Amino acid sequence: MQDAMTVVLLLGLGVSLAGIALLVVGRTLRARLRRMPRTLVREARAGAFVKMVGQVVAREPVHAPLADVDCAYFQMTVQEVQEEMKKLVETVYSEKEYATGCGLDDESGRIELEPEGAVFHYLRAREFAPGLAAWVPEIRQDLLARYISAREGRTDLRTRLREERLELGTTVVALGWVREGPRGLVLTGGSELEVFGETEKQLSSLKGSDVLGGVLLAVGLLLCAAGVSALG
């Protein structure tokens, strides 16, 4: 019994820490975005770290298979889930594709975006489990065929697809470094380049992480209290 309560206490501590982390990350992000002034494309200077807001454009878009739309970027992840436990077994495949000539367009001009290595937040997403919805008409079966896999001799696994995408015309907030490129200025930075698939107003009022963080913190504290009470 004591061992079980110790596990409950440790679980409570872990859940509480996860909740605190979500609260801190959400509030830090909003404070950071509020603190940085917006830079228009025509005001950008090479060597500066800036916040830009604009619509996503691309000279040669890529095609997101699940959504069946042209976009500036997508990532497809194929996972195998154990049927009975609903437990993720492993990610068996993942791919990313970036549009050629991806950029941001605001009222003052256009700047090219170098998306490879960038960190994307709050993108549109779609999930698909073929065994549950194999006949959904808007899902193109010929496109799905390249992603669906089955392990020989295993009947307890279900393939799950998840696609995140940055659609053309989406208004985004981007934080990154301005560099000189072959066609002019480029917004870049590798992992320092962050692209948020929301408007400034939506990001400043984004409370989802606060709600989830608060719930996790409350649940964690309840578990801790139960564990301490039982051990005491």
Which DSSP string do the residues of the chain spell out, in sequence order?
-HHHHHHHHHHHHHHHHHHHHHHHHHHHHHHHHHHSPB--GGG--TT-EEEEEEEEE-SB-EEETTTTEEEEEEEEEEEEEETTTTEEEEEEEEEEEE-BT-EEEETTEEEEE--TT-EEES-EEEEE-HHHHTT-TTS-HHHHTTT----TT--SEEEEEEEEEEETT-EEEEEEEEEEETTEEEEE-GGG-EEESS-HHHHHT--HHHHHHHHHHHHHHHHHHHHHHHH-
| Confidence at residue 159, expressed as pLDDT on a 0 to 100 scale | 74
Domain ranges in the chain? Answer: 39-201
The share of the chain scoring above pLDDT 90, in percent, equals 33
The share of the chain scoring above pLDDT 70, in percent, equals 66
DSSP string for 155-191: -SEEEEEEEEEEETT-EEEEEEEEEEETTEEEEE-GG
| Confidence at residue 23, expressed as pLDDT on a 0 to 100 scale | 67
| Confidence at residue 32, expressed as pLDDT on a 0 to 100 scale | 73
Residue-wise pLDDT for 50-101, tens only, equals 999 999 999 999 998 888 889 999 998 887 776 655 566 677 778 899 999 9
**pLDDT surpasses 50 at 134:** no
| Confidence at residue 137, expressed as pLDDT on a 0 to 100 scale | 52
133: confidence class by pLDDT, cuts 50, 70, 90 = very low
Lowest mean pLDDT among 84-98, 108-122, 127-141, 197-211: 127-141
Residue-wise pLDDT for 23-35, tens only, equals 666 676 777 777 8
| Confidence at residue 36, expressed as pLDDT on a 0 to 100 scale | 85
CA-CA distance, 19 to 16, in Å (whole number)?
5
| Confidence at residue 224, expressed as pLDDT on a 0 to 100 scale | 76
Residue 16 and residue 210 in contact, taking contact as beta carbons nearer than 8 Å: no
CA-CA distance, 135 to 146, in Å (whole number)?
17
Higher pLDDT, 148 or 84: 148
195: confidence class by pLDDT, cuts 50, 70, 90 = very high
